[in-house]
A and B are shown apart, each in its own frame.
Chain A
Amino acid sequence: MDPIIVVGAGQAGVALAAKLRALGYDGPLLLIGQEPVLPYQRPPLSKKYILGELALDRLLIRPPGWYEEQKVECRLSTRVAHLDPAAKTVSLDDGTDLRYSKLALATGASPLVLPAPIGGKLEGVLRIRSLADADRLAPLLQPGKKLLVIGGGYIGLEAAAVARMKGLEVTLIEKAERILQRVAAPLTSDYFRALHGWHGVSIREAVTLERLEGTEGRLTGARLADGTRIEADLAIVGIGVLPDKGLAIRADLDVDDGIIVDGQCRTSDPDIFAAGDCTSFPWRGERIRLESVGNAIEQAEHAAACMLGETKDYDPVPWFWSDQYDVKLQIAGFHRGYTDTVLRPGKREQSQSVWYYRGEALVAVDAMNDALAYGIGKKVLEARRSIPKAAAADPAVELKTWLTAS
């Protein structure tokens, strides 16, 4: 019997393999990943891991013994170079061909890079996607050093926060009008701008990087389009990721922003499924791609069930979190297409929530140090209900009442 092969040993790949076993699949199961370490969680890389508060063994998604016990053959340091849907084979980079009965692509995403002509290849220019990236960066975060963060999304902001906590001087530049523009409303941007300002990060929005400059191949600073120069010993580039869809493209599977799957996580080939950051999937009348742990796990578990015959569609309430300094951000829902936002003050210090509406319908909540607002928002969204804007905005109205109200 040919094995089920999972390409990509990350958050989604492991969840998929684990779910296949939990659902009773007892045939051969092969997990292939190009990184040299057992699958690990990425979120702590830009948080506790870099601060030295979490060691590698705590980062692993499953302990080493789990793979043997669950009969999941995990091949590390192995890249799948080619996929042939007609022959039902994958080719590894060492030339070996492997047959599969069913295949799952869980290849994730890779960070966008700055091109070499504008200094992207200078020594001292780093990124944070993999453990190797984090291990390269951590020893360089020395007090007093000057760090330039390029990109004001969640990863850039988390990097700025850990660097400040380690005593670096941090400047963050953002090309858009405001930080978090792609992922959040102005109210949330305002909150994080103030938070970072208070912690001493210099944030500059609506500025374009002209090029990074260096001497003898080493970063020394950056020149901005408005003519200003920023001195820097280090730069962290956090300008977004691209889904890893190369294998799918070369195999003639349908792709757009990611590998196109249907509600059952199936690609345009009936025996090939996909899950996680690499997929573009149908969701409530649109097609979306999510970059989150929650989606990687839940979509992968759904894919596993569909590989074994489940016919329901994947219909998640997306969620995400981020930790910066002592602030926990939790997001429920998907804010695309919102028309209004309301602010709800929270009960703790630095706590508040931002409620997103499309017309009268609640579509998402950003909660800062306010787990209750997040939780209630998520439950309401799961039930496909809403909370009136006036109630959301009024801290005297207990949100819990909306859980049971009809």
Chain B
Amino acid sequence: MPKVTWILKDGRKITADVAVGHNLMEAAVANNVPNVIGECGGCLSCATCHVYVDAAWYEKAGHPDDMERDMLEITAAERKPNSRLSCQIKATDALDGIVLHVPEI
């Protein structure tokens, strides 16, 4: 199972194994990562699953599609070039080790 690490604003790290195919919002909620809420359950309606993908992983995680780009306009925290909605990133073996930075909201 791919490992995912969330780094919080205060430097605290949360690492978890995530089932292949599960999205990284679900994984965050399952592991009690603060500030990743996922109100809409991952259907690209709420933008409460915003994270910054670590620069080293941004390309591997893939690019946001059109709808996601629009939704990124309304994240509570500042939008950055490496902003993603984590419900749109699915865990795969290629993402084993991925690092996500969690914004303060």
Interface residues of A, Cβ cutoff 8 Å to B: 18, 22, 41, 43-44, 47, 58, 61-63, 66, 69-70, 293-294, 297, 319, 321, 323, 328, 330, 348, 369-372, 374-376, 378-379, 400
Contacts and interface: CB of A to CB of B under 8 A. Distances in A.
A41 B41 contact: yes
Interface of B: 22, 26, 29-30, 32, 34, 37, 39-41, 43-47, 66-67, 70-71, 73-74
A281 to B, nearest CB: 18
Given A321-B46, A330-B45, A371 B71 contact: yes
B43 A321 contact: yes
A66 B32 contact: yes
A348 B67 CA distance: 10
B44 A328 contact: yes
B40 A293 contact: yes
A294 B34 CA distance: 17
Contact of B37 (A44, A297, A328): A297
A388 B29 CA distance: 39
Given A43-B40, A371-B73, 9 more contacts: A18-B32, A294-B39, A297-B37, A321-B46, A328-B44, A328-B45, A370-B70, A372-B73, A375-B70
A63 B28 CA distance: 11
Nearest to A293: B39
B30 A321 contact: no
B26 A58 contact: yes
B74 A63 contact: no
A375 B30 CA distance: 27
23 contacts: A22-B34, A41-B41, A43-B40, A43-B43, A44-B41, A58-B22, A61-B29, A62-B29, A66-B30, A69-B32, A70-B32, A294-B46, A321-B45, A328-B43, A328-B45, A348-B66, A369-B67, A370-B70, A371-B71, A374-B74, A375-B47, A375-B71, A376-B73
Contacts of B32: 18, 66, 69-70
A388 B17 CA distance: 49
Contacts of B44: 328, 371
B74 A376 contact: yes
A328 B40 CA distance: 12
A362 to B, nearest CB: 15
Contacts of B71: 371, 375
A374 B26 CA distance: 24
Contacts of A371: 44, 67, 70-71, 73
